[in-house]
Amino acid sequence: MKRVLILGGTQEAYELAERLVDVAGLEIISSLAGRTRAPRLPKGRVRSGGFGGTDGLARYLRDESIAYLINATHPFADQISAHAVAAASMAEVPLLRLLRPVWEPQAEDRWIAARDTAEAAELCRREGGRILLTVGSGELEAFAGIRNAHFVVRMVDVPDIVPLHDYSTIAARGPFSLADEQALLTEQHVNLLVAKNSGGDATYAKIEAARRLGLPVVMIDRPQIALEPRSLVVASVEDAATWLHRSD
Ligand code: NAP
């Protein structure tokens, strides 16, 4: 049995685990950060919670005799991704990054690029009005000082304390349909959308809805994560499964 550790918390990590769990000769362990109240659990072993930094992850790789490490975390999960690169190198475990391609702007999109949440917040301050904010709870703080906007905040788990001046919340987990996203933007009288360039299909409908309604989108760029020269990156669950098959 060869053990595969999938760093997850994404739709594709879930799909990859479900796909590999019945492959003879492989044992799949999915790892979740443990932040979501009711996470969708894939088949196979699931562990939850941080490893304790790079050293902790490297120790886990050795102690659990992990043969392959697949980092299928979210494109904005920069810390665990950096830890994966360093820990895989320390423990001499082959590492694959499964990373969704970025969304590219279409001709009619009205995107305003932001390097990070701080820059996105500055753009919101300039624009004001009613803003659909689709960032994580840990990123709300950047928008705390804004007084000229009402934020419609959508996230999987709404935190007990929302550090915003004027807001309403929607607790929801994707995927979202185009019709629902258009209805949401229209009914909430949204004049600006803030999104992270997550890529993938599950949350793309809001971008298409904004395009159809002619609304601007503050699009937050992905953080840069240094990869080692030997790190391999694939864009699909299919390609990740092929990599594993070929490596075995
Ligand atoms: P992060 O900033 O890169 O990681 C912060 C810490 O959380 C890491 O140092 C690690 O703790 C722990 N951690 C993160 N992912 C883990 C995993 N899959 N298994 C075990 N520990 C993990 O991550 P984040 O952006 O907060 O995201 C946390 C989780 O939510 C990730 O699994 C990610 O795939 C998922 N997610 C993130 C976003 C997003 O926008 N960032 C969106 C959707 C889903 P230790 O240092 O103690 O090991």
> What does the pLDDT profile of the chain (248 residues) look like in tens digits?
999 999 999 999 999 999 999 999 999 999 999 998 899 999 999 999 999 999 999 999 999 999 999 999 999 999 999 999 999 999 999 999 999 999 999 999 999 999 999 999 999 999 999 999 999 999 999 999 999 999 999 999 999 999 999 999 999 998 999 999 999 999 999 999 999 999 999 899 999 999 999 999 999 999 987 666 667 999 999 999 999 999 87
Give the atom of ligand 1 at the shortest distance from the alpha carbon of 13.
Answer: 34
The residue whose CA is least distant from atom 23 of ligand 1 is 77
Torsion of CA 136, 16, 180, 36, to 10 degrees: -30
CA–CA dist 77, 73 (Å, integer): 6
Residue 231: its pLDDT value, please? 73
With the C-alpha atoms ordered 57, 62, 64, 65, is the resulting torsion angle positive or negative?
Answer: positive
CA–CA dist 86, 88 (Å, integer): 6
Q: Extract the tokens encoding 186.
A: 């229209």
Our mutation pick for probing the ligand 1 site, out of 76, 80, 117, 134, counting the most ligand atoms within 8 A of Cβ, is: 80
Q: Are 93 and 69 in contact (CB under 8 A)?
A: yes
Q: Are 16 and 240 in contact (CB under 8 A)?
A: yes
Does residue 87 have its Cβ closer than 6 Å to ligand 1? Answer: no
Give pTM, 2 decimals: 0.94
Residue 227: its pLDDT value, please? 65
Residue 110: its pLDDT value, please? 98
Give the atom of ligand 1 at the shortest distance from the alpha carbon of 76.
Answer: 41
Our mutation pick for probing the ligand 1 site, out of 61, 73, 103, 222, counting the most ligand atoms within 8 A of Cβ, is: 73
CA–CA dist 98, 75 (Å, integer): 9
Does residue 51 have its Cβ closer than 6 Å to ligand 1? Answer: yes
Does residue 80 have its Cβ closer than 6 Å to ligand 1? Answer: yes
Residue 63: its pLDDT value, please? 98
Residue 20: its pLDDT value, please? 97
Q: Are 128 and 109 in contact (CB under 8 A)?
A: no
Residue 17: its pLDDT value, please? 98
Q: What is the CA radius of gyration of the chain?
A: 19
Does residue 85 have its Cβ closer than 6 Å to ligand 1? Answer: no
CA–CA dist 73, 164 (Å, integer): 28
